[in-house]
Amino acid sequence: MSEDMNGGMDNTLTDPLSSTNLMSLTIDGQEIQAEKGQTIVQAAQKNGIYIPTLCALHADKESGLKHDLAPGTCRICTVKANGRTTAACTTPISQGLVVENDTPELNDLRKTIVELLFVEGNHFCPSCEKSGSCDLQALAYRYQMLTPRFHYAFTPRKVNADMPKLLWDGNRCILCRRCVLAIRTEEGEPLFVFANRGDKSTITVDTELIQDISEELAQQAMDICPVGAIIRKGKGFDTPFGQRKYDHSPIGSDTACSSGENKAGGEKS
C-alpha cells in the first residue's frame, strides 16, 4: 500500500511484507518465517507455536491494547536461542536463529517458576474470583503442578478495598507490571505504580486518579491482570462455572503445540 493510500497510518500495519522484511528461523526444529523486528514470542504466535507468557500481552480486542506488551518480568517464556537461555518475549528474532522451546528441561524450568509464584504469594484458588480464568492457575494445570517443591512463604500482603470500582489483592499479585504499563488515564498518567524493592516490592494505586476511573478502564484493568489481583467490585464472580476462560480450552490451546507432552493443557478434569 502506498504512502498516499495509507492516509498517515502506520506503514508496518498496512504494507505487504517484502522478502527483505522476512527472516527464517526454527523453533523446535520447525522452520518458520517472521517479520524482522518481531520477538521470538511474536514470531511463534504468528506461526501457531505456543510459548507460555504471563507478563507479556498481545495487542488484540481482548486486551484492548494497541501495542504488544513485554515487561520481561516473569521469565515463564524462557527458551534457548542458539543455545543461550533467554526470555522469548524480549528477544528479537534473527536470521537462522535456532530456538528450543517445548523441551522437558525448559518445561520443568517453567513449572518451577509457576511453583515459586504460588509459594511466594498466597493463592487460595477455590475462593478466588479469577479461578477458571487465571493464567497462573491455567499454567499450573498445563505443567501439572501438584504440590510445590518449595516451602510456602506465607508473606503478609495488603488488600486495597478503598477504591470505588476495583479491589486490589496483593496476596495474588505476581508483580508482572502489566497494570503499571497498560492502565493509564487519557493523559497517560499511570494509575498503578511499583513501590519498594526486592521482596518488599508491591503495587500501589494513585488514590486520587483511581476515583474517577471509567467503567471501561476498570474492566480493562481486571482483564489485563493475568491473576486475580485486580477485581471489579460487584463483577468478580460474574462468569458461571463451566463458562470461564479455561473451563473448555486449556491455556495455549489456541495455538498448536510442537510436542504432545503438555498438549492437553495438563490433566484438568
User: Applying CB under 6 A, does 179 fall inside the site for ligand FES?
Assistant: no
Per-residue b or e along 191-222, where b marks 16 or more CB atoms closer than 10 Å to that residue's CB: bbeeeeeeeeeebebeeeebeebeeebbbbbb
Q: Which does 181 bind (CB under 5 to 8 A by kind): ligand FES, ligand SF4, none?
A: none
Q: Which does 101 bind (CB under 5 to 8 A by kind): ligand FES, ligand SF4, none?
A: none
Measured distance CA(250)–CA(52) in Å, rounded: 12
Is residue 175 a contact residue for ligand SF4 (CB under 6 A)?
yes
CA distance 31 to 22: 13
Asked whether 221 and 233 are in contact (CB, 8 A), the reply is: no
179, containing H or E segment: helix 178-182
Residues 91-150 that bind ligand FES (CB under 6 A): none
244 binds ligand SF4 (CB under 6 A): no
* Among 23, 34, 69, 76, contact with ligand FES (rule: CB under 6 A): 76
The angle, 0 to 180 degrees and rounded to 10, between the axes of the packed helices 104-120 and 135-142 is 140
Nearer to ligand FES, 45 or 258 (CB): 45
- Would you count residue 42 as binding ligand FES (CB under 6 A)? no
Candidate ranges 98-106, 117-125, 148-156, 210-218; the one touching ligand SF4 (CB under 6 A): 117-125
The Cα 201–Cα 59 span in angstroms is 27
> What distance in Å separates the CA atoms of residue 172 and residue 246, rounded to the nearest whole number?
18
Piece of 2-10, 27-35, 59-67, 226-234 that binds ligand SF4 (CB under 6 A): 226-234
Which positions touch ligand SF4 (CB under 6 A)?
A: 123-125, 128, 130-131, 134, 136-137, 172-179, 192, 203, 225, 227-230
